[in-house]
Structure 1
Amino acid sequence: MSRLQGVARRDPRAGFRAERTDGNTSIPQGLLKAARKSGQLNLSGRNLSEVPQCVWRINVDVPEEANQNLSFSAADRWWEQTDLTKLVLSNNHLRSLSDDLRLLPALTVLDIHDNQLTSLPAAISELENLQKLNVSHNKLKMLPEEITNLRNLKGLYVQHNERNDLSNNRLAAVPGSFSSLPSLMRLNLSSNQLQSLPAEISRMKKLKHLDCNSNVLETIPPELASMESLELLYLRRNKLRFLPEFPSCKLLKELHVGENQIEMLAAEHLKHLSSILVLDLRDNKLKSVPDEIALLQSLERLDLSNNDISSLPCSLGNLHLKFLALEGNPLRTIRREIINVRMLRIELCNFKSKFKDGYDGPRQSDCVPETTAMTLPSESRVNVHAIVTLKLLDFSDKQTALIPDEVFNAVKNNVITSVNFSKNQLHEIPKRIVELKEMVSDVNLSFNKLSFVSLELCMLQKLTFLDLRNNFLNSLPEEMKSLVRLQSINLSFNRFKVLPEVLYHIPTLSTILISNNQVGALDPQQMKMMENLTTLDLQNNDLLQVPPELGNCVSLRTLLLDGNPFRVPRAAVLAKGTAAVLEYLRDRIPT
């Protein structure tokens, strides 16, 4: 009974007495009993206006069953059971927390998001083991200095807090003393009214993820650029006029500065971003892009939409982008050198007058004039120029049921990295595609009439991007496991009723798009093993429920679930974004 005696010394009120109930806020005894075994108690969504004393004293008072039994089995020895380490009180009506919070010193996770808290008790400083604190979506007026005593805190979430006085709402400052949180790895300060960040923030030596979206920041302290551990930085929807330099942020992988007032992008802003994968500059006032953009050799996603850019440097074509967004710029021409056929998506809304309704992206012939001088009479239907200069085998939008042999014959000794047979009437994948198995990385077979995937496709050793949307597919062959480089697959607008089993066994997949099917089930346990999966689009399917275990898929950055018939999560939760949805699901995993 040493554990009980230790707690008793901390709280002189503790003793051997029956557990009390608290009227309309009583908690089922079975739930408390389970919590004593697991160390986890989830009271989310129970309409609580206050936290019952039986919760604060769960480690202190003798449980009710101790007064009913004279002997105990091994499973019922309450004095040997664990202290509470995780407490979830989210989605209730709590206005305050009691200082009795100190009676739970073993807590590592305290989740109180979506309540009506206006302050936190000073006793929170005594939770010395706390690693994660979520107080988002409350009405906090300020962050208490006591939080700085939580030396083991790794994640702090305070987004969406506001004052009761609506004329001056949301947090306006972050105490510099917060820099004394040595273990903090994630800090979410989004959707407040922060005008500045303290220079002391640079002392957070382990901080990897900083979210300051939706504030009123005009500048960020230069000390922020010296944070060597920083990997993800979100500064969207602020009032920044200049992009800072990041000389020490060698690990920075994502920089989101969209929806600001940035006017210039210079070489010094780019030269230190050697590890950057995602650069979001949309909705700013940029007039040009420097040639030094080519320094970002790791860059995969670049969003330049809705700026004032009239031309692009040819060096942009040297990047290996998977995504490039350019819509909303006064671009007059796109130079041939810039077109990279490995891009998954190029949005050029300035040219949409050229495109038919429902068009899915620019055709190569829209971007690069066809050079008839290089086209032989026997190959009049084949764009040889695209084969030679773009490494693209393009026979799209012909409404044909077969790909003629002359298309494959035109390849000759040229290297082909991309194949586009979209917008035809194909009922099967051309068998001769296997001739390209050692070189092609991008295949587009969308908008055809495919009802199965042939084994020839499964032999494309270097296939990285596969587009099969708008076909008649309801299954995928097990042999697709051999596509060991596949990163992105688009299966939207087909006839799948479950997420194809083979996809769980392709560990390189980072993007699965399977919207507008009839998917009614998926396996979250297998999906959790897909460590590279960052984007999953399940919109407009037949999911009757979202398995809570899906919340454990922490690698997901984009999870789209709209248009399914499930009741929870509610639309209001979905609207908060992927991180909020995953958090919501994790809170509902049975303990």
Structure 2
Amino acid sequence: MADTLLIRALKSQPKQLTLCNKNLVKIPRAIGKLDCICQLQLKNNKIKKLPKELCHLFQLQVLNLGNNDLDEFSPILQHLHSLEKLHLFGNNISHIDSSSLNGFRSLTFLNLNGNKLKQLPPEICNLISIEHLSIDNNELIELPIEFCALTTLEEFHAAGNKLTSLPLEVGYLVSLEKLHLQRNRIRELPEGLGKCYNLRYVDVAANELRIFPTELSSLPLKELYCEENPLLQNMPVHSVQEEEVLSLKELSARYIMKELKDSDEVSWDEDSSSDEDPEEWSYMRKAIRHYPDIRTMLAQSSKCAVCGDSFLNTWLECVKFVDAKEDLKLTSISGSIPVRALLCSYRCFNAAGHNYYGVAFP
């Protein structure tokens, strides 16, 4: 049947070819002669392996191999340099070889839902044009740091996996608009998520979250779904803590950052590019330029939610309960959302007039 269809197609030179629901166990080798087609639909078959003749489809832009019996991400696919959309959902793929992700310079859409993937290779960063990546219902435990290099990624689906966290570098996903992470085991979202300034949709329902990152309110969120998480509850208990003793390293770091702040220094992790005369800089500002390791360390500092001063190490983690509708302007959820707040000292924690609460664990 498939051979007959291919023979007919050779005569008409079509741009699209559909061979869905044909009970195909393999793709006829004659497929390589159809170098004119742009779309090839092969879903709902029993295909186990791809023929090397597929490499001849130089103009192919859309390939649908969903619901077949493929057990590998075939290296043959990387030779389809014009490919823009690739569907591989509902197969038995358990591993992606690192060399198989070369050549996909035009790929904007990849669907790997419903496979058996336990990890993504670091070479995932080779998908330099990817906009939509979907890996729902696999067996992923973590994502590689290199995943965060996908600066063109707009929509990411990873629901129904076994993820316990996201890479700290997630803030580099500057184009990300939609994030689907429901039904995982995520205990904490990284602070870097607050750097995804285009993020409009977040679904983290049915995870193990207790609190959200500090910069949640700075995101342009339109929809947030977080039901079935053990979120912190607003149950105030009076507590006054004694003043702590800071380490010499912490004291020194705070002193330096205060001096830099007082001299209007706004960034100590890189040299200033302004036209300001270096001779007018403060002594501290001049000196810090010669110690790149210290600048890098100070760049990881946090800012106290009460006094606004910078500190090096997370001293006291608190929570602020924000109203989803009034404060975050969300219509998808009601009630209070627990958002992380960092304080520099117990002195600030004991100060009157703020609405930050210490976090008590059972």
> In structure 2, what is the equivalent of residue 532 of structure 1?
none
Higher relative contact order, structure no. (Cα contacts within 8 Å, ≥ 6 residues apart): 2
Q: What SS is found at the alignment partner of 2:89?
A: coil
The equivalent of 2:277 in structure 1 is none
Which residue of structure 2 lines up, in the alignment, with residue 108 of structure 1? 38
SS of the equivalent of 1:279 reads strand
Query: Which position in structure 2 is the counterpart of 1:253?
Result: 177
* Partner Cα distance (2:337, 2:166) in 1: 29
- Listed one character per residue, the Cα deviations across residues 458-497 of structure 1 (whole Å, up to 9, x for unaligned) are xxxxxxxxxxxxxxxxxxxxxxxxxxxxxxxxxxxxxxxx
SS in 2 for 1:247: helix
In structure 1, the residue matched to 2:126 is 203
Give the drift of 1:336: 11
| Other-structure match for 1:306 | 228
For 1:264 and 1:143, the matched residues in 2 are separated by: 31
Q: Name the structure 2 match of 1:150.
A: 80
2:137 aligned partner, one-letter code: S
| CA displacement at 1:290 relative to structure 2 | 3.9
State the alpha-carbon separation in 1 of the partners of residues 87 and 161 from structure 2: 19
Confirm whether residue 192 of structure 1 aligns to residue 201 of structure 2. no
Q: 2:328 aligns with which of 279, 295, 319?
A: 319
Question: CA contact under 8 A between 2:171 and 2:192: conserved in structure 1?
Answer: no
Take 1:210 and 1:336, find their aligned partners in 2: how far apart are those partners? 28
Tell me the secondary structure at the aligned position of residue 288 of structure 1: coil
Structure 1 residue 226 corresponds to structure 2 residue 149: yes
**TM-score, with structure 2 as normaliser:** 0.65
Shift in Å, 1:243: 2.4
Any stretches of 5+ residues in structure 1 without a counterpart? 1-24, 26-50, 62-81, 162-169, 326-333, 339-591
In the other structure, the counterpart of 1:272 is 195
C-alpha separation in 1, matches of 2:207 and 2:178: 17
Question: CA–CA distance in 1 between the matches of 2:38 and 2:338?
Answer: 53
Task: Work out whether 1:263 is the aligned partner of 2:187.
Answer: yes
Q: How many residues align?
A: 250
What's the offset of the Cα at 1:59?
5.6
Q: 1:124 aligns with which of 29, 54, 57?
A: 54
TM-score normalised to structure 1 length: 0.41
Look up the match of 2:360.
none
* Structure-1 separation of matches of 2:78 and 2:200: 33
SS at 2:212 equivalent: coil
Q: Determine the structure 1 residue equivalent to 2:106.
A: 183
**Which amino acid counterpart does residue 66 of structure 2 have in structure 1?**
S
Contact 2:321 2:337 in 1 (8 A): no
Name the amino acid aligned to 2:327.
N
2:93 to 171, 176, 190: 171
Query: How far apart, CA to CA, are the structure 1 residues paired with 2:44 and 2:87?
Result: 12
1:58 partnered with 2:67: no
Query: What does residue 139 of structure 2 align with?
Result: 216
Q: Measure, in 1, the Cα distance between the counterparts of 2:50 and 2:114.
A: 19
Distance 1:249 1:195, change over 3 A: same
The residue identity in structure 1 corresponding to 2:187 is: E
1:52 is aligned with what amino acid? D
Note the 1:414-429 alignment, pairs <5 A: none
Find the residue that maps to 1:202 and give its secondary structure.
helix
User: 2 CA distance for matches of 1:172 and 1:336?
Assistant: 37
> What CA RMSD, in Å, does the superposition of the two structures yield over aligned residues?
2.1
Partner of 2:216: 293
Structure number, greater radius of gyration: 1
What is the rounded CA distance, in whole Å, between the counterparts of 1:150 and 1:276 in structure 2?
A: 31
Structure 2 residue ranges without an equivalent (≥5): 234-319, 340-362
1:310 Cα offset (Å) = 2.9
| Change in 2 beyond 3 A, CA 1:60/1:291 | closer
Q: Distance in 2 between matches of 1:160 and 1:300?
A: 31
SS in structure 1 of the partner of residue 170 of structure 2? coil
**Residue 554 of structure 1 aligns with which residue?**
none
Say whether the 8 Å CA contact 1:110–1:130 is kept in structure 2.
yes
CA distance in 1, matches of 2:328, 2:216: 8
Secondary structure of 1:323's counterpart equals coil
| CA-to-aligned-CA distance 1:38-91 (integer Å, 9 cap, x gap) | xxxxxxxxxxxxx033x3233655xxxxxxxxxxxxxxxxxxxx6211001112
1:90-137: CA deviation from partner (whole Å, max 9, x where unpaired)? 122111111111111101100010011111111001101000100000
Distance 1:155 1:205 in 2: 14
Matched residue type, 1:221: P
Contact 1:57 1:103 in 2 (8 A): no
